[in-house]
Amino acid sequence: MKNEDLKGLISALLVPYNEDGTVNEAGLRQIIRHNIENMKIDGLYVGGSSGENFMLDTDTKKQIFDIAKDEVKDEVLLIAQVGGTNLYEAIELGQYATELGYNAISAVTPFYYKFSFEEVKQYYFDLVDKVDNRLIVYSIPALTGVEIGVSQFMELFENDKIIGVKFTAADFFLLERLRKAAPDHLIYSGFDEMLLPAVINNVDGAIGSTYNVNGLRSRKIMELAQEGNIKEALSIQNDTNDLIEAILDNGLYPTLKQLLKLQGCDKGSFLARKPMASATQKQINRSKEIYDAYLKDVK
């Protein structure tokens, strides 16, 4: 697969859990089919924040990679997020996902400790040295505290196996400068609520959690913006942001899981992985209101 084939609208895959913290496999398979058949996405980003990945042990991460690949086969592209603070686990997971046939791996910048850029760079270089796959940097400074500038991105891109970045930041000056500096590398928008300005800045695709439930609208935003129909794209982004604002006010992951259930993903438990809280009855009731107001009639 060429890098060109990794472009598009990609859902950051949500994962439903049982009361004991185990993966609800039947529910996960439903979510995957829903993304492919109903949301019409181009790919799945597996093992990211939306899957509550940073609360999981290595075996559970592998289980999710297994289920996703088994369900998807080759219908859409698959990107495995393998990163964290443990380089050796990242290498193990990267090798595992590559053996399964994932089209690329991704890795969040190592966080918690205040790593220097040279340490971050070496983390990525060590990872791709041990994993025979292409890598997409996952940059989300609001959660990791790791800021990467244009010149630093370009140092990372000197490694041929580092092909792009999931850019989850609101710095559109940085995005524009990076796009100009790295026209041949993949840049994915990581903030769903800023999809339109990201597409205007010529990103190659988008990776986000709300595409699990709002993929059809998001596709229209991308296509209209690429066609130059900014006015209509902005109108749909406005509707999308009304939805996102309501979801955020009600609790992001609990609400998304309730919306998935209302869209037909109803097999088994759709709880969060503790210590993250699952939906309260109040959140469940509000999710139904959000669904009726913003998603019920979307086609």
Nearest alpha carbon to residue 175 among 221, 141, 209, 223: 141
Which amino acid, 55?
M
Q: Residue 189, annotated ligand binder?
A: no
The pairing of beta strand 104-108 with beta strand 77-81: parallel
Can you spell out the DSSP letters for 253-287?
HHHHHHHHHHTT--SS--BPPTTSPPPPHHHHHHH
Q: Which of 45, 96, 138, 291 is catalytic?
A: 138
Q: Residue 278, annotated ligand binder?
A: no
Q: Residue 49, annotated ligand binder?
A: yes
Q: Residue 109, annotated ligand binder?
A: no
Q: Which of 7, 61, 121, 166 is catalytic?
A: 166
Nearest alpha carbon to residue 39 among 70, 80, 10, 74: 10
Q: Residue 139, annotated ligand binder?
A: no
User: Are 218 and 206 within 8 A, CB to CB?
Assistant: yes
Is 138 annotated as catalytic? yes
Strand residues in the chain grouped as ranges (E): 8-12, 43-46, 77-81, 104-108, 135-139, 162-167, 186-189, 205-208
Q: Residue 50, annotated ligand binder?
A: yes
Q: Residue 168, annotated ligand binder?
A: yes
Residue 119 burial (CB count, 10 A): 11
The pairing of beta strand 205-208 with beta strand 104-108: unpaired
Which amino acid, 262?
L
Annotated binding site for pyruvate: 207
Annotated binding site: 49-50, 168, 190, 192-193, 207, 209
Annotated binding site for aceneuramate: 49-50, 168, 190, 192-193, 209
Write out the catalytic residue numbers.
138, 166
